[in-house]
Amino acid sequence: MYRATQLLLLAVTAVIPFIYTGNLYFPFISGKIYVFRMLVALAFFFWIWLMLKSKEYRPDFKNILVIAVILFFFAQVAAAFFGVDPAYSFFSGIERQDGVFQFGFWVLYFLMLVSVFRSERDWEALFYVFVAVAVLTSAYSWFTTDSSEYQLSGIFGNPAYLGAYLLFAIGFALIQRTIILYSAVGFLALTLIFTQIRGAYVGLAGGIFLFAVLTLLFLRKESKWLAYVCGIILLIGAISLSALFAARDTAFVQNVPILTRVTEVANFWEVPSVKERLLNWSIAIKAFKERPVFGYGPENFGVAANKYYDYRVGQGEPWFDRAHNRPFDTLATGGTVVFSFYLLWLFAAAFLIWKIGIRQPVEKKILSFTLASILFAYFLQSLFLFDTIAVYLGLFPFLAFLVYRYQKIKETASDKMAISYKLKAKSYTLIFTAALLSLFTIYTTVLVPWRANNAAWQFFNLTENGFYAETRPYLETAFAINSPYTYWESRKMTSWQFRNILEYRVDAETDPDKLAELRELYDFLIPEFERHIEARPTYPQMYDTLSAIYRFGYEKLGKDDLDKAEAVLRKAFNYSDLRIEYYNQFAVTLLLMEKFEEAEETLKAHMERVPPEWGADFPFIMLGNFYFEAEKHQLALEQYEKAIAVGFEVYKNTAVYPRYMLAAEKLKDYQKVVDTALLYLKEWGPDADTHFNLAVGYFNLGEMEPARKFFFKAVEMNSEYEQFRSIFE
């Protein structure tokens, strides 16, 4: 029982990072989560049997870190019940598959590690496996990442996830202090650097800094050579960082993407990813102030982000569902209650590290400094990310190792031989119950959601290839599976794909038979999407998606559901009275319903509520876009010119630029066409379309020489423009 439990837990470390499931939605995450649940459920059966045979294998529930982790879990359970969407808090979505129940699996994994990894040999095996897997996944990332992307992500599918995972791998290699593992540190650190994740950089640098400072403070007498090396590292680090930022505007730094990623934070408000995080943190604070006790509920940050919507965040990612800061996310979704227990387990971990190193010989102090550095590195990177499977794969073994080390100092059960007891009849009943529970857990949390996820993915796969009629059986399967993990999620994922098909794959040239298939699919899917709105009213993206499907159904399939689109969007305004996606959809829908005045009035009222920090140009741009959609080009151009007058640079905005150019052309204002195209050319470099725009502009201004020059450049870059040669010769 002992070895079986150990091997299953070790398999989590050895197997999970390699799993990629191409036949599921979110292939980098879904398969990993399903296999993790299966391994934990199987280990649970053997663990229960083991504890019934030998009481010594029961976790030390008096340990402060064990208590803190368990209390943190139960605090999340309480917050979920008081949150805005308890079901989503418990089961989360397909994309990341976190949630309270999933965290419960991690807590169980932690408790089992504490129980059965009881010797130096056990932990040495786990750390060797962890580092070996990290080396292999790092090597894979080097061979599979496109050189044009620069950022390594590997089998985690996200550079930030890989960076966080490697922080623990580097730490575990340093804990063992063997030449074999030390040799891996350099390669792992190099891979981390090429993830180009600033949060991982901060974590790595912070861990090194803390280790060096602790060594200088407490080991300068016992280990002078180590203190000397640490002092040199601090000095070189300070000089290098200062020099890097001093030279941030030089050609050398600007031409090296990794260096640019570091130095651009000096102008943090101009870096979209940094700016969005800062704005999300302010949203988290607003959410906490509104619901200070239990917060919005785990996994429900997206609801708060929708209510306190900020257009400046939405420019990069309009549907943020995380604060991208673990403490702030915990504060917003768990309130004071969960946040207090979050701080408690951090404090408990730090306390055990302190106890491990206090009044110990040099070697043990170095170990405690390494452990402190790992914890500090994790915390620093969590200020820019959220906890996910890549983080937990390292975090929970790390926490379990702290418990083991602390117990070893106290000379408790980990140093004693386990005593086996004769099982009683009721023990066999418990073992049988554990077996049933494990099988039930595997069936309900692995097999059933896997099947639903795969069926929904088959819809995606078939529609991507134009096989619309063939999707019906898979949809019926996905929708019929009554799993809390997938029941509404399969409808959500299907709605995203169906919208994309209608928006990008259907046009005037689409085969009539395919249109007929899509109409039948539309009639089948719409009631399911409407049920999603009713069941999950706080989910923000579905309103935008469903209203768009109604609109495209009207425009491309001949369906008459515009009144439903209007009703859905009016309901959406109850959850966010500022979100621009809602108002854009609403305005276009009313235009199709020939309600121009009502659409104009609604949009103007919205513009009056827009916070001034969104920018003085924002209202003019939005109204300009609206008038452009209404084909009122004079009004559109007037609004765009007002935006330009307050500082808007139209040639830098790839969404507004073509509308501005077309409006100017419709009004025969060719001087604006030429002036703006020249600015666009200077900003973005040469391209055929811009050269042709300039040729047309100069031609209509009567300036044939520059017109011919730009036309010939356009033809050189795109031969399709050859058909207009007779005009310019």
Nearest to residue 191, comparing CAs of 170, 213, 212, 173? 170
DSSP state of 501: I
Spatial separation of the C-alpha atoms in residues 566 and 586, rounded to whole Å:
6
- The answer for residues whose C-beta is within 8 angstroms of residue 317's C-beta and 6 or more apart is 276
Kindly state whether residue 401 falls inside one of the protein's structural domains.
yes
Spatial separation of the C-alpha atoms in residues 369 and 388, rounded to whole Å:
26
Taking CA atoms, 426 is separated from 49, 54, 353, 430, 434, in Å, by 12, 15, 40, 6, 12
Residue 290 in contact with residue 284, Cβ under 8 Å? no
Kindly state whether residue 86 falls inside one of the protein's structural domains.
yes
Chain length of the chain: 729
Spatial separation of the C-alpha atoms in residues 665 and 519, rounded to whole Å:
37
CA atoms within 13 A on the CB side of 574: 8
pLDDT under 70 in the chain at which residues? 146-149, 314-316, 359, 411-422
Kindly state whether residue 131 falls inside one of the protein's structural domains.
yes
DSSP state of 19: -
Taking CA atoms, 303 is separated from 279, 296, 320, 445, in Å, by 15, 8, 9, 25
Q: Which of 367, 390, 415 is the last residue of a domain?
A: 415
CA angle 454, 458, 462 (to 5 degrees): 170
DSSP state of 26: S
Kindly state whether residue 466 falls inside one of the protein's structural domains.
no
Kindly state whether residue 597 falls inside one of the protein's structural domains.
no
Pull the structure tokens for residue 338. Answer: 């969960």
3-state DSSP assignment of residue 324: coil
CA dihedral 454, 457, 463, 467 (to 10 degrees): -10
Boundaries of domain holding 286: 54-415
**Amino acid in the structure at residue 272:** P
SS3 content of the chain, % helix, strand, coil (to 5): 75, 0, 25
345-351 contacts at long range (C-beta below 8 A, 24 or more positions apart) = 345/65, 345/68, 345/69, 345/71, 345/72, 345/399, 346/375, 346/379, 347/68, 348/64, 348/65, 348/67, 348/68, 348/69, 349/65, 349/68, 349/375, 349/399, 349/402, 350/375, 351/64, 351/65
Q: Which of 394, 415, 436 is the last residue of a domain?
A: 415
Backbone angles phi and psi of 408, in degrees to 5:
-65, -40
Residue 27 in contact with residue 19, Cβ under 8 Å? no
Q: Which of 415, 439, 462 is the last residue of a domain?
A: 415
Residue 307 in contact with residue 575, Cβ under 8 Å? yes
Spatial separation of the C-alpha atoms in residues 650 and 664, rounded to whole Å:
13
**Amino acid in the structure at residue 5:** T
Kindly state whether residue 279 falls inside one of the protein's structural domains.
yes
Kindly state whether residue 492 falls inside one of the protein's structural domains.
no
State how many domains the chain has: 2
301-307 contacts at long range (C-beta below 8 A, 24 or more positions apart) = 301/329, 301/332, 301/333, 302/539, 302/540, 303/84, 303/85, 303/538, 303/539, 303/540, 303/575, 304/332, 304/333, 305/280, 305/540, 306/540, 306/575, 306/576, 306/579, 307/575, 307/576
Q: What is the DSSP string of 591-623?
A: HHTT-HHHHHHHHHHHHHHS-GGG-TTHHHHHH
* Burial call 608-625: b when 16+ CB within 10 Å, e when fewer: eeeeeeebebbbbbbbbb
Kindly state whether residue 37 falls inside one of the protein's structural domains.
no
**Amino acid in the structure at residue 693:** N
Give the CATH number, domain containing residue 686.
Answer: 1.25.40.10
Looking at residue 315, its pLDDT comes to 67
